[in-house]
Structure 1
Amino acid sequence: MSQSSPKSPHISVVVPAYNEAGNVVPLAREIAEALDGRSFEILFVDDSSSDATRQELIDAKADLPMLRVIVHRTNCGQSRSVRTGVMHARGDIVCTLDGDGQNPPQDLPSVIDALTRDDAPENLALVGGDRTANRQDSAWKKFASRAGNGLRQAMLNDNCADTGCGLKAFKRSAYLQLPYFDHQHRFLPALMIREGFQCEFRPVTHRHRTIGTSKYTNFGRLFASLTDIMGVMWLNSRARNPRGSDEF
């Protein structure tokens, strides 16, 4: 298997993980296999897990030299884990996927190639995955997701049918221009559009969780989404975009 350069990988895959022992190492190996032949690194951000997640990842570095393990000293949530990973990333292109293994890494090339294709719009900054046709969750969870996505689309007009899909590829430089807040990761398309960037979406596969349990509840997520949507609406109302700048 090819190895990415430790100094200048083109792609940085960021995976937030909290109490995902048993999931993280197989997932890391799948990512490495999916990106074999490309210049990449893999950053797992352990959000202060209380199980063996951290040690499993550290042990796996012996066989996966492109693997980096970043550990939060205290638990801060998924959005902060993504941000920590992006801040540590060395690639121009950042990909994210969830640490539970439900986002198959085999879909990474699809979103990466769409973002970096020769005929991509100049301001294309994010390509997200869309699990709508292939989601492997309970009927209740899918219903709650559809309701939440529909509400968010109606209020933010971000044209994203599945913002909760963890599999995304985006330009690191664009991400660093976004305002940060907790739960930010669910609003990346809307925030990218706010800054004048363009987003696209590609259908991706999805699979059942086989180890561990979800860290979210439907009602908890809905409550957080409602307050966050109002916050993003306020941010959008205060945006002023110069459409670029020139130096003379």
Structure 2
Amino acid sequence: MTYEFTIIVPVYNEAANLKRVEQELSNYIKIASKKTKILFVNDGSKDKSQELIEEICANNLDFTFIQFKENCGLSAAITAGFKNVDTELVGYIDSDLQTAPEDFNLLLKEIGAYDLVTGVRANRKDSFVKNMSSTIANGIRRSFTHDGMDDTGCPLKVIKTEYAKKIPMFKGLHRFLPAMILLQNGKIKQIPVQHFPRIAGEAKYGLWNRLLGPLMDCFAYLWMKKKYINYKIVKKG
């Protein structure tokens, strides 16, 4: 069976959501515009997430997993996913399912002409404080990266794997994926997608790490941009 698209699902203490994740992604696989498989990355969960992940993977041939020894953070989980993907395209979605898997088809429709297509959460169903802090954080990032993206934190993206595998790992990476594609002279696009309130589990980010963290990461990004090496081999003898 030849897969074309892998969806990475980072997991950290999401036992309350995982059966719903199984159902939603199983339903999506049936209507996906590309032959799709799922890769859970368990980021050192301390609840029953791993037990449920193994049960899901045992019951579904299109589901696989990686388990971290300890919690390393979202950026590490995404990077590990990128490094273990063998399909032409890779995407990711958060296990809280505040975005809809079926919207991957909207992104896949555009990926041929681009190297990354990201969602923009339309009519966000978050609290006023969360929406405001995200708006401020996105504004800070845009002023540093000039990537033109309105919602880099949207947990629904599709990337050409050859570009994803070249992204260097650093904490805060998940906030800078479009900018990191631009460093490779890639093309990016954003598309409105659905957004839903969290109905189970707990959010992993608060006001403090939505504002201070991104600001500090911006300086790390500027350093990386200055030092970034980008080349293409045109001929070998």
Q: Out of 51, 54, 61, which is 1:65 matched to?
A: 61
1:39 counterpart = 2:35: yes
Alpha-carbon shift at residue 60 of structure 1 (Å): 1.8
> How far apart, in 2, do the equivalents of 1:153 and 1:28 lie?
35
Note the 1:8-19 alignment, pairs <5 A. 8-19=2-13
- Superposed structure 1 runs of 4+ greater than 4 Å apart: none
Determine helix, strand or coil for the equivalent of 1:36.
helix
Determine helix, strand or coil for the equivalent of 1:127.
strand
> Identity percentage over the alignment?
31
Q: Out of 190, 198, 203, which is 2:179 matched to?
A: 190
Hey, what does 2:119 align to over in structure 1? 129
> How far apart, in 2, do the equivalents of 1:39 and 1:140 lie?
39
> How far apart, in 1, do the equivalents of 2:47 and 2:192 lie?
33
> How far apart, in 2, do the equivalents of 1:14 and 1:216 lie?
19
> How far apart, in 1, do the equivalents of 2:167 and 2:86 lie?
18
Deviations 1:145-187 (A, max 9, x none): 0011011111210111000001000011101112210110110
Runs of at least 5 residues in structure 2 that lack an aligned partner in the other structure? none
Tell whether the 8 Å contact from 2:40 to 2:65 is kept in structure 1 after alignment.
Answer: yes
> How far apart, in 1, do the equivalents of 2:132 and 2:206 lie?
13
Hey, what does 1:163 align to over in structure 2? 152
Q: How many residues align?
A: 234
Note the 1:38-187 alignment, pairs <5 A. 38-116=34-112, 120=113, 124-131=114-121, 133-187=122-176
Tell whether the 8 Å contact from 2:29 to 2:37 is kept in structure 1 after alignment.
Answer: no
Q: Give TM-score scaled by structure 1 length.
A: 0.90
> How far apart, in 1, do the equivalents of 2:173 and 2:230 lie?
20
Equivalent residue letter for 2:184: E
1:246 counterpart = 2:234: yes
Equivalent residue letter for 2:63: L
Q: Give TM-score scaled by structure 2 length.
A: 0.94
Tell whether the 8 Å contact from 1:125 to 1:174 is kept in structure 2 after alignment.
Answer: yes
**Structure 1 or 2: larger helix share?**
2
Tell whether the 8 Å contact from 1:30 to 1:105 is kept in structure 2 after alignment.
Answer: yes
Runs of at least 5 residues in structure 1 that lack an aligned partner in the other structure? none
**Which region of structure 1 is more displaced relative to structure 2, 84-93 or 44-53?**
84-93
Hey, what does 1:236 align to over in structure 2? 225
> How far apart, in 2, do the equivalents of 1:146 and 1:70 lie?
32
